[in-house]
Amino acid sequence: MRTALVLAAALLTPLYAQQRDIFKLDLTIRDTADPAAKGGRRYSLLVFGQDKGTLRIGNRVPVPSGSPGLGGPQSYTYVDVGVNLDCTLQEVGGKVGMRADLDISTAIGSEKAPGAAPTISQVKVNISTAVVAGKPTVVASFDDPVTSRKFEVEALVTKMN
């Protein structure tokens, strides 16, 4: 009877109230070619283990789509630019498994044709790795193919409970 009550209580308890691992992800993105930006940009979020954490920071940029009809208004598509992060964290054998999709983009206006549609510069990185909790780890390093900028992505994962 006691087993049935424990099982019933577990089924009726909401997922968020059950004992689950909570992780804090601190992500630092550095432009290593810029000595003035040594600290880099820092982003933090708390994530339940095995749940997806999402971070969106930036702007929505209007980009003309199609041509205007006869005397009709121009139609636009809005493109998200900035930093977009989707991540999942899970403890695996004393380390923390990390899956992260990172999208860094900017809109660059044309100096030759003001008012023209912007060019979207974008870097996407898909990370699937394991890190030691509490130890900052460089999980990605890449050169921007358009500019001479070099980037490093450092993750610091801390188990909160």
16-46 per-position pLDDT tens digit: 555 689 999 999 999 887 777 678 899 999 9
Tokens representing 87 are 């991540």
pLDDT at 149: 80
CA distance 132 to 156: 9
| Cβ–Cβ under 8 Å, residues 20 and 52 | no
| Cβ–Cβ under 8 Å, residues 156 and 26 | yes
CA distance 154 to 22: 20
Tokens representing 148 are 């001479």
Q: Is the pTM of this model over 0.85?
A: no
* pLDDT (tens digit per residue) in 119-143: 888 889 999 999 999 999 999 998 8
